[in-house]
Amino acid sequence: THYEIVSGECARGVQDVQERSMEDGKAELDITCAGTSQALAAELSTKKFQGYSVKVKKVTGSTIHVELK
């Protein structure tokens, strides 16, 4: 699930994940993490996940846009 992608087990520094919305195959999550959004995006883009891939599309301020395939 999308929670597995950003959970503390899969990405260092993640403390909490809350779903804000989910519609038309898109989820918006609030993520509390100890590091910066750039550091989280870098980790997500290099991490290997079983059954899907994560592509970081855009990072701006405190927002990360990713695509799951």
Q: Which residues contact 69 (CB under 8 A, 6 or more apart)?
A: 52, 53, 55
Q: How are the residues of the chain apportioned to helix, strand and coil, as percentages rounded to the nearest 5?
A: 20, 50, 30
Q: Which residues contact 57 (CB under 8 A, 6 or more apart)?
A: 65, 66, 67
pTM of the model: 0.76
Region 48-68 average pLDDT: 88
Q: Which residues contact 41 (CB under 8 A, 6 or more apart)?
A: 56, 59, 64, 66
**Reported confidence tier of residue 57, pLDDT bands at 50, 70, 90:** very high
Residue 68: is its pLDDT beyond 90?
A: no
